[in-house]
Amino acid sequence: MNLTSKRRGIASVALVLGLALAGCSKGESVTERADAADFAEPVHITNCERAATFDAPPQRIVSMNDHVTETLILMGVGDRIVGMGYGEQPNPLPETADRFRKIPSLGKEYPTAEQIRDLEPDLIVGGMRSAFDAKEGRDRDQFEKEGIATFLFSEYCGKGFPSIGLLENDFAQLGEILGAEAEASTLTERVTEPLERVRSTLAAAGAQPVPTFFYDGGEAEPLSIGGVGIGNLIAEYAGARNITSEGQKPYTTTTWETVGERAPEAIVVLDYGNAPVAQKLEYLRSQPIASATPAVRNNRIVVVPLDDFFESPRMVTSVETIAKALHPGVFGGQG
């Protein structure tokens, strides 16, 4: 599937019309810029079992999730993002903040398919499966038929997130198709090196994993993390033993009885806008079973923003925060 060539076929019509209306000198400069952007050889990738070929780096990107936007900015291609979903992030990473606030926001959550098409993108990058919800008209197949390339972070390809190798591959592929290999490599190291440093420090200290309940929310049926998502990988790096790792999805429901039986020594509470963290904490301390766990009795509760639980550089923050809270004797933090 040669998506860049298909887009160029459409663009060539606009270019001819532009030459007729605006004169040759402007048209020649546009052609020169397009030629200069070509790859020496076509770039072939396979993303979520979809093969695609790029003749040139995409220049008009729609980013569907805020952690994707931050990642692309850190790869040095933020100036190519023509619009973003989840564009009302109040606290972008400090080093991305200036560029983040210059990118047009397409909405508090996802843009419509019409908003996306109006921007005439040549690449759409999603960080969650819902970014390409066919029921909402954002089907990858349809976009690609129209010559618009798509890329989905592998966290949501449906095969879990068993190792950091998936992030390494995603970042390498994005760097390759965007002509930003060096920046992508640097960004990958920014993630992998501190993660490995935390794990190595815990291993050197002989620290044992702390049985931990990851609480996303829910009262009748608590929602936690399963054993196949990035949350479980974060737990492993941070020296936590996820007590619901038998779940076969990134997020899984459990029962309070199960939580009580497994007696977590720590609880990680995920904080996000639709469910105030204060309300979650109050519920944990009043729920009969949860309140009897060692974690609640010893007030060993760690709050981590949900934004730090995605495939992005932010996952370093979540690993460091949890590790310091669970292993204060190793890292000198407060447990």
HSE (CB half, 13 Å, CA atoms) of 117?
13
Dihedral of alpha carbons 3, 6, 12, 14, sign = negative
The Cβ of residue 264 has, within 10 Å, a number of other Cβ atoms equal to: 25
Taking only the tens of pLDDT, the chain with its 335 residues reads 666 555 554 443 333 333 333 333 323 222 233 433 699 999 999 999 999 999 999 999 999 999 999 999 999 999 999 999 999 999 999 999 999 999 999 999 999 999 999 999 999 999 999 999 999 999 999 999 999 999 999 988 987 888 999 999 999 999 999 999 999 999 999 999 999 999 999 999 999 999 999 999 999 999 999 999 899 999 999 999 999 999 988 899 999 999 999 999 999 999 997 778 999 999 999 999 999 999 999 999 999 999 999 999 999 999 999 999 999 999 985 44
Q: What is the pLDDT of residue 299?
A: 97
- Strand ranges (DSSP E) for the chain? 43-47, 50-54, 61-63, 81-84, 123-126, 149-152, 210-215, 223-225, 240-242, 251-253, 266-271, 301-305
- Taking the model in full, what pTM does it have? 0.87
pLDDT at 19: 31
Distance from C-alpha of 147 to C-alpha of 76, rounded to nearest angstrom:
24
Residue 207, Ramachandran bin (φ over 0: left; ψ between -120 and 50: alpha; else beta): beta
> Whose structure tokens read 């995603």?
170
Give the pairing of strands 50-54 and 61-63: unpaired
Residue 1 pLDDT: 63
Number of C-beta neighbours around residue 205 at 10 A: 13
* pLDDT value for 30: 28
